[in-house]
Amino acid sequence: MSEELYTQKEAMLYSQRIAQLSKALWKAVEKDWQQWIKPYDLNINEHHILWISYHLKGASISDVAKFGVMHVSTAFNFSKKLEERGFLKFSKRDDDKRNTYVELTETGTELIIEMNKNYHNTYHSVLEGSLALKDLYGRFPDFLDVMAVIRNIYGEDFIDIFERSFQHFRDSFDTIEERTTVKG
């Protein structure tokens, strides 16, 4: 172990603070998320898999598990349920027979667009709780410190997938709005 640059008290206080804040934030996120997806008869894992599949375009089950922070068997089992409902399709690649890949069907893509269109039909306490910071600073919080901690825990691959999916989300948002406007 490297030379200790902190006291046991500092370490324990930091760990407990992170644990308590993370749990409180997750509880609010979970409640908001469940309310948003409830009309679509999805659970959080299913929605997360659809979202990952939409933004990563042909992700492997391993990628879904890694980015979804879930066990591979959980990612596979929930993906199978989504396939049965017609939202996902499974495939193998000619150059990679070992991995199973998932991709949204047209129905799955339409579902994601519909959910995005109806985002504001439910209350989002985390969003509402962040608006004062947006008003004060002109932007939502960046969580740069949290990103650095996550990078150190899950690695650069996780952050790369995270950034790639959010870049796709940014790039495709205008397309989503165009398609939802046409439908609406």
Q: pTM here?
A: 0.84
Quick one: pLDDT band at residue 2, thresholds 50, 70, 90? low
Total of domains in the chain: 1
Question: Does residue 132 lie in a domain region?
Answer: yes
Question: Does residue 1 lie in a domain region?
Answer: no
Rg (CA), the chain: 19
Question: Does residue 2 lie in a domain region?
Answer: no
Question: Does residue 21 lie in a domain region?
Answer: yes
Specify the CATH number for the domain of residue 107.
1.10.10.10
Question: Does residue 58 lie in a domain region?
Answer: yes
109-128 pLDDT per residue, tens: 999 999 999 999 999 999 99
Question: Does residue 24 lie in a domain region?
Answer: yes
Q: Chain centroid to CA 101: how far?
A: 18
The dihedral built from the CA positions of residue 47, 48, 49 and 54, taken in this order, carries a sign that is: positive
Question: Does residue 112 lie in a domain region?
Answer: yes
Domain extent at residue 102: 8-183
5-61 pLDDT per residue, tens: 889 999 999 999 999 999 999 999 999 999 999 999 999 999 999 999 998 888 999
What pLDDT, on the 0 to 100 scale, is given for residue 181? 44
By three-state DSSP, how is residue 7 classified? coil
What pLDDT, on the 0 to 100 scale, is given for residue 183? 34
pLDDT value at 170 more than 90: no
Strands (E), 82-175: 88-93, 96-104
Question: Does residue 104 lie in a domain region?
Answer: yes
